Amino acid sequence: MFEFPKFTKVSVKNDVLSGLTVALALVPEAVAFAFVAGVDPMIGLYAAFMVGLITAVFGGRPGMISGATGAMAVVMVSLVASHGVQYLFAAVLLTGLLQILAGIFRLGKFIRIVPHSVMIGFVNGLAIVIFLAQFGQFKEKIGVDENGDNIYQWLATEQLSIMIALIILTMAIIHFLPKLTTAVPSSLVAITSVTLIAIGLDLDTRNVQDYLINMTGDINATVQGSLPSFALPEVPLSWETLQIILPYSLILAAVGLIESLLTLTVIDEMTDTHGNSNKECVAQGVANMTNGVFGGMGGCAMIGQSMININSGGRGRLSGITAALGLLAFILFASSVIEVVPLAALVGVMFIVVLGTFEWASFKVMRKVPKHDAFVIVLVTVVTVLTDLAIAVFVGVIVSALVFAWQHAKHIYADSSQPDTEHKVYQLHGPLFFGSVSHFLALFDVKNDPKDVIIDFAGSRVVDHSALEAIDTLAERYINQGKTLHLKHLSPECRQLLTRAGDLVEVNMIEDPNYKVMTDSLG
């Protein structure tokens, strides 16, 4: 399950420094997502620590960062509002169990069915979501409206100008420092430098503590806390409870696994390595079950923080472990350090992440790929921004599958020959499945065909139940005309389907033990 990693001096240095950089960026993200879910900030911070540590140690993708995420937080809102935080813990616990089962039954492999066009749309959509989310840092809460919703306004001109200048400085350091040296992650240097400048010049710019105070309304708000403690969710162990939490758990499990496995795939491509999707499913599940009994809101992989880690040189498990333990250290011992970090520095880091995450080449690609692939890229990007990741991926996969089915439905055709007056042979080409059955049935001249009709499947395959029904329908048409339908050159898989179909298919099978066509093992 877990292989102890091999360390070198260079890898340890890179992983530790990049992990500390990620830990700094995790704090405001975890707090923000806790507010999105409607829970206490510490619940978000605990989640970021526990999910990050467990997946870093046991996950299937070294270097990938997990924590509390917005994609899962938006699902939690209504459950917390209607039933309270204890039901959220119970739902997260069940979520973890479902994710472990997904890993045990090796469902992680189904990430392979996600087309590349959907992957591009996913990455672009998340980049835009991360970009738009940063604009919340340019605003401050000024009150609550009659519906209980927070009212925000843009920062004052002077504050806004200082913040923009610090963001530009942060981005410039991250961009240009690697050209001089790669000894230290440029993101960490940028955050440290901007923090020292803001403190040294006493600049009027908001820091992490200001953000906490603004979000909570408590002038004593802090990220300082204690270790999370074990406690089972205080909910009735009843069928009614299961009915309440199961729908949320199913959605949370799906969203968490989709985001995690897609992020895993993106990092695989960036690092030219290969992660273990099923192992990641189990690790995410263990992490969320732990959250459920230690008071965390759960989470999954975070593409933004993962990009920070990879770009900062973090490749091993130690980077994720350092990020999680660094976050815990900030909570327990160094809250005063993290609270003085300017939000501008963290926003600058995230803007660099956006620039690196967005597939700028997709604009050129969309002019070269088929129109339906370009449409899927745009569709998934838009749906990701307007709704959430899970819906976007489902929509993209479904649209891609329908396009694929429609295109292949038109690929079935037949060459016919008549060796004598009583026999006619149809040489079938193309797959026979639900999308092509209407074309298939239209290929045959039942009324004018001779007494014996042979369909040669050497260039075709019977794929599904709709294909069996189509063959049965065709056989009935020939029987009604007093004629016999023979099937020839069926692959072993096709013959097995027809055998299992039993009386559904009334045909005369012509066995051919010497025929060779493409089978599942070859295709």
User: DSSP string covering 271-332, please?
Assistant: HT----HHHHHHHHHHHHHHHHHHT----EE-HHHHHHHHHTT--SHHHHHHHHHHHHHHHH
- What are the φ and ψ backbone dihedral angles of 375, each rounded to 5 degrees? -65, -40
d(CA 419, CA 146): 85
d(CA 57, CA 72): 22
Residues lower than pLDDT 70 in the chain: 1-10, 148, 497, 499-523
> Which amino acid does the sequence have at 258?
I
Nearest residue to 312 (alpha-carbon basis) of 12, 22, 8, 5: 22
Half-sphere exposure of 206 (CA within 13 A, CB side): 28
Per-residue confidence (pLDDT) for residue 521, from 0 to 100: 37
- Written as six digits, the tokens of 503 are 């009386």
Per-residue confidence (pLDDT) for residue 235, from 0 to 100: 94
Parallel/antiparallel/unpaired status of strands 300-301 and 66-67: antiparallel
d(CA 486, CA 497): 16
d(CA 293, CA 288): 9
- 517: DSSP letter: -
Count other Cβ atoms within 10 Å, centred on residue 396.
26
Nearest residue to 48 (alpha-carbon basis) of 61, 29, 75: 29
Nearest 5°: CA angle at 190, between 187 and 194?
Answer: 145
Nearest residue to 461 (alpha-carbon basis) of 417, 425, 496: 496
In which element (H, E) is residue 428 found?
strand 423-432
Three-state SS sequence of 70-116? HHHHHHHHHHHHHHCHHHHHHHHHHHHHHHHHHHHCCHHHHHHHCCH
Asked whether the beta carbons of 161 and 177 are under 8 A apart, the reply is no
Nearest residue to 139 (alpha-carbon basis) of 341, 304, 391, 347: 347
Half-sphere exposure of 382 (CA within 13 A, CB side): 7
Reported as a single tens digit per residue, the pLDDT across 310-352 is 988 888 999 999 999 999 998 888 888 888 889 898 888 888 8
Nearest 5°: CA angle at 311, between 305 and 316?
Answer: 80
Chain mean position to CA 246: 21
Per-residue confidence (pLDDT) for residue 255, from 0 to 100: 85
Q: Residue 214, class by beta-carbon neighbours within 10 Å (0-12 exposed, 13-18 middle, 19+ buried)?
A: middle
> Can you list the positions of beta strands (E) in 110-166?
139-144, 150-154
Per-residue confidence (pLDDT) for residue 501, from 0 to 100: 60
Dihedral of alpha carbons 289, 395, 358, 207, sign: negative
Model's pTM, two decimal places? 0.72
- Written as six digits, the tokens of 436 are 């092509």
Asked whether the beta carbons of 47 and 296 are under 8 A apart, the reply is yes
Dihedral of alpha carbons 95, 100, 104, 107, sign: positive
Per-residue confidence (pLDDT) for residue 1, from 0 to 100: 47
Which domains, from first to last, does the chain contain?
9-124+209-340 (no CATH), 411-510 (3.30.750.24)
